[in-house]
Structure 1
Amino acid sequence: MTFNVRATDLDALNSLTKYPSIPTYHALGDRGSLTEEATAFTGPVIGTEKIDGTNARVISLPDGTWLLGSREELLCAKGDLIGNPAQGIVAALRGLADRLNPFIDSIMVYYLEVYGGKVTAASKQYTGDRVVGHRLFDIVVIPDDEAETLLAKPQAEISSWREHGGQPFLAEPDLAWMASKEGLDLAPRLFTLDAAELPREVDKTLAFLAERLPQTLSALDDSAGGKPEGIVLRTADRNVIAKARFEDYNRTLRRRSRNSPT
């Protein structure tokens, strides 16, 4: 198709390009506590730092235009004099969107964590001077013909396609290549391990997090607090992905300690 953003259903495009939910490494149980059921990985597993910021999108379109979005909504389009200031995403990413090279036959969606400044309550862990930064963590490439078919579907079908792994994410080598090509910093890569080396128990996973990420590798200045949020685990092809946050494991083990017989 000859893409024209002004002729496109923006609600459908928004749904098409939202970032899907990522499950926790250990399944959630009652009141947000973790169970002992761990995500099944096979083969090499890549660990990356999970940054506590806000999920943002740069949607690069085949007609040379772009859109900026938060996790849930579109915030700004190329040529807008004023964008939605929510969470500082437009201010942080407008310059990046202007310099990205569009693909003439595909929709490219760059997923970034915008963090620091006053973005979240954890911003002080990354900056003491209210610096704002961003890190790339995923890219989706949707060819024109596939996008045309999907955008014609009801939003419920688009959402189901997205949440059931339909989005064609770049595999790790291609993601790294694209980040280098566009001059983007990736979320820090921490390790590559065989799946058999991952801990399966909740308490051992907390110890694993502390060993592998004792402090953030995404600090924006020397006065950052340094406390990390957690680790994202993913296969190189991204077919399996899960998140492990310090907070979830600490909360679960505190509750277990309170409820254990004395």
Structure 2
Amino acid sequence: MIWQGTWEEHDMLETLDESSSSRSGSTWLDAFPWLPAIARAADGVWSSPVELADEETAERLAGVIAELAGERLTHWTIGQILPSLPPDIELSTLDLPTRAANSMSRHGIFTTGELANEFLESLMGWRGIGAGTINGVLARLVQASTSSSPSVMSAGVPTAAEADITFPNDHWLQKVAHDVKRIADWCALIGVDNNALLDLSTLSSAPGGVRDAAERLLAIRLRDIDADARAKSLSAV
């Protein structure tokens, strides 16, 4: 990748690389190592533990971080801005601004991992996305970066315990469920949620990520599904 930012931003990225060996930190500076270079907070709030902030304070600080990033880090990717952001969060669980959520769906972006490689300035160039919307998105992502709440971290797939079924290959089933949900979200977005899930006429115009999900589902063979898991699934019906 060719660096397009300023040397000041380059130095901040080097600091980030040196400071982010752990995905999640105990203080705001651990989660966002670039803060000292651009934040103007003389009270040392950024060095305080994240978990000690009450809900109102955490929300306020998330808004400040979002505004700082929106003003100064437009040449950075979301992953560089939010190095502690887990990659497996479904964006639909984050209560993002409606315009942003719809735009991300149209671009085939449904998880934080898929969003991580997007440059902030490219998001700002999407139709109908203004500074206020971007700040709202960043604030929610900041909160997701600093939260260990299961409700925020969930990928939206029921666990085996919730379904009262035990599968030896839970990870594989979760990936299948993720692909199904991705296609369903796209169909609902364009108003064809009564169509068959793998209707080729619908999927032909879908974003690449949605088409990839459909191809993975179409490629499933019976041998891919554990026989014991199938037996337990059928006995639970």
Structure with the largest fraction of strand: 1
Relative to the length of structure 2, the TM-score reads: 0.28
Structure with the largest fraction of helix: 2
Larger radius of gyration: 2
